[in-house]
Amino acid sequence: MSSYQTVRAGAKQVVKLLEKFPEEPFKYLVSFKTTQLERFSRIAGLPISQKDSSELSNKASIDTIKDVVNRTSGPLGLQKDMLKKMQAAIPHDQFSETSMKEQVNALSNLVGNKYKTYYDVGDKLYKPAGNPEYYQRIIDDIQGKKKENILDGLRTVFMGR
């Protein structure tokens, strides 16, 4: 198998792992999952899914930026030295077989929670004796399961529970 085919197969593995990657609980301007799906789908030669393309439709893609920078000698009135700096800053996806294997390995470790299970901490840290429900309340609040009203919040601050 040639190097190009190996990199392409690795990119397909990365795309499959990224599809298993959980959604981010907070919506930001740029999503890790969405940007990496776009990047590795392009390398693997796969189409970008409709959901991902709708999120990216109102943002300029890397390909669009590359096209604008490479198409003209001085886009948008930029000086030559600024144009050279922009061209140097544009990422070039040139993966080798080893770097693609490292990408697949790192992402599979993240998806599989390898380090959470490898460095498992006991209940002593998750449920401290002074306030055993502390972390569970924070997680519930982040996930929107249980909201505290102002009186419960004040009681927690003053009483410690």
Pairs from 24-31 (Cβ < 8 Å, separation ≥ 24): 25/142, 25/143, 30/59, 31/55
Residues 61/59/68/85 CA torsion (nearest 10 deg):
-80
Query: Do 115 and 109 meet the contact criterion of CB atoms below 8 Å apart?
Result: yes
- Tokens at 91, concatenated: 């990422």
32-44 and 62-71 are packed helices; what angle lies between their axes, rounded to 10 degrees?
Answer: 60
Q: Which secondary structure element, helix H or strand E, spans residue 8, and what is its range?
A: helix 3-20
State whether residue 141 is helix, strand or coil: helix
Q: What confidence tens digit (pLDDT) does each residue in 140-157 have? A: 877 777 777 788 778 877
Q: What is the pLDDT along the chain (161 residues), one digit of tens a residue?
A: 678 888 889 989 999 998 988 887 777 777 888 888 888 888 888 887 655 555 545 566 666 666 666 666 655 566 667 767 766 666 666 788 898 899 999 999 988 888 888 888 888 888 888 878 888 888 887 777 777 778 877 887 787 66
Using CA atoms, how far apart are residues 103 and 22, in angstroms rounded to an integer?
17
End-to-end Cα spacing for the chain: 61
